[in-house]
Amino acid sequence: MSAPIISVRNLTKRFGEFTAVDRLAIDVAPGSIFAFLGANGSGKSTTIRMLIGLLRPTEGSIEVDGVDVIRHPRRVRDHIGYMGQKVSLYPGLSLRENVEFYAGLHGLAGPELEARWGALRERFELSDAEAERPENLPAGLRQRAGLALATLHRPRVLFLDEPTAGVDVHSRGLFWELIREEADAGRTVFVTTHFLEEVDYCDWASFIDEGKLIANAVPEDLRRRYSGGYRVHIDGEPAQELTTPAIDDAFFAELDPLLAVRPGARVRIDSPSMTDVFRRVIAESTGARRAQP
């Protein structure tokens, strides 16, 4: 992995007796989509608030795009875009006025703003919504507009806290396509979600439970580790079932000869769902905690 753009070490946040985040260590590769997962109250939002400099950690270090966030919480703001759980468009102002407002805060105006916003407007399909006030827009569109605003100043890292909560399946799909485009353009995306199937859109997944990291890997590695693997059914004479931890070159090397003797045979693959994968992650972590009081 190239040098991480987000680097967190020993990150701890205590509220009185309660430890919300416990010695967290994560690295995020530049240009990747990093899924940050966990149950309600597991410490996700607390962590994000520390990463963007809104909350001072009790202990540990945070570096985002070369900025020591703990020492210079303000300096990191030009490097990041943030979209909270509530999309922060001002009601009463049209989308266009919201754009001008946030652009103005980043010192963006005139032809430069027009060029950037024009491009975003097309790509995010926001042209029809420009004159509307956010309270009159459907949730999916509001969410896209929120993302457009968070990227307007071309931050190197995007923090998205449950951007797809309460959004219909069509808008969620569109949203993830946009996130992928942002990542392809070199922007790092740090995202939380409760739609665990969305982890398959991501390059990396970290799962925290009671403030501790309990899983931290590429999604396919989590599948390998926390599921019974892919079940593959091959039609033909004779039909055959096999199980493989991953659909990779090794698997194809095994599959190809089987298909060669069954011309035209159909193959059906049962993929372990990411939801099931994380059910198991949680179950194992809970089990380990019980065994070790």
Partner 1 sequence: MSVQPSLRLRGLRKRFGQRSALDGVDLTLEGPQIVGIVGPDGAGKTTLLRAIAGLLEIAADEASVLGFDLRKDVRALKAQIGYVPQSFSLHRDLSVYENLRFTARLHRLGNEEFERRTESLLARTGLLPFADRPAGALSGGMKQKLSIANALLPEPALLALDEPTAGVDVMARDEIWRILEERRGKSLVLISTSYLDETEACDRLLYLDEGRVVAQGTPAELRAQVPVRLLRAWGSDPRAIAKAAGALPYVVSARVRGPFARIEIAAEELPGEARLYADFAGLVPRVRLLEPAPVDMESALLFLSRKQTQGTSAP
Partner 2 sequence: MNPRRLWTLLVREARATWRNPFTMTILVAVPLAALLVFGFVLSTEVERLPLGVHDASGTASSRRLVAELAAKGTFVPRAFATREGLDHALVAGQISAAVVIPPDFDRRLREAAAGGAPAEIQVLYDGGETVLAGNSEAFLRTLALSTVAELSSGARAQAMGGPAAPSHVSPSGAAGPASGGVRVVTRALFNPKLDGSRFMVSGTFGFVLSFLTALITAVSIVSERLSGTFEQLQVTPATSLEILLGKILPLGAVFAADVVLMVLAAGFLLGVWPEGSVVFFVIVSSFYVLTSLSLGLLISATSATAAEAVQKTVLFSIPLVQLSGFAFPIRNMPAPFRWLAELFPATHYIRVSRAIYLRGEGPLSLLPELSLLAFFTLILVGVALRSIEGRE
Residue 279 touches which of partner 1, partner 2, none (Cβ within 5-8 Å per kind) = partner 1
The CB-of-103 to partner 2 minimum distance in angstroms stands at 8
Q: How many chain residues touch partner 2 (CB under 8 A)?
A: 30
Residues contacting residue 73 through CB under 8 Å, at least 6 positions apart:
53, 54, 56
Residues contacting residue 30 through CB under 8 Å, at least 6 positions apart:
2, 3, 4, 5, 156, 186, 188
Using an 8 Å Cβ cutoff, are 65 and 5 in contact? yes
| One of 86, 154, 266, 289 touching partner 2 (CB under 8 A) | 86
Contact set with partner 1 (CB under 8 A):
38-42, 85, 138-141, 162, 165-173, 177, 180, 194-197, 199-201, 219-220, 223, 246-249, 252, 255, 266-269, 271, 273-275, 278-279, 282
| One of 2, 16, 91, 293 touching partner 2 (CB under 8 A) | 91
The CB-of-153 to partner 1 minimum distance in angstroms stands at 27
| Contacting partner 2 within 99-128 (CB under 8 A) | 100-102, 104-107, 109
| Cα 136 off chain centre by | 27
The CB-of-264 to partner 2 minimum distance in angstroms stands at 56
| Cα 290 off chain centre by | 30
Q: Is 93 in the site for partner 2 (CB under 8 A)?
A: yes
Residue with Cβ nearer partner 1 (66 or 186): 186
- Bridge partner residues of 14 (DSSP): 19
Find, among 77, 153, 78, the residue nearest to 117 by Cα. 153
Using an 8 Å Cβ cutoff, are 193 and 163 in contact? yes
| One of 33, 69, 80, 191 touching partner 2 (CB under 8 A) | 80
Specify the stretch interacting with partner 2 by CB under 8 A; choose among 51-59, 175-183, 223-231, 285-293.
51-59
DSSP 194: S
Using an 8 Å Cβ cutoff, are 180 and 25 in contact? no
Residue with Cβ nearer partner 1 (64 or 179): 179
The CB-of-1 to partner 1 minimum distance in angstroms stands at 18
Find, among 179, 214, 203, the residue nearest to 44 by Cα. 214
DSSP 67-117: EETTT-TTGGGGTEEEE-SS--PPTTS-HHHHHHHHHHHTT--HHHHHHHH
The CB-of-159 to partner 2 minimum distance in angstroms stands at 8
Interface residues with partner 2 (CB under 8 A) are 52-56, 73-74, 77-78, 80, 82, 84-93, 97, 100-102, 104-107, 109
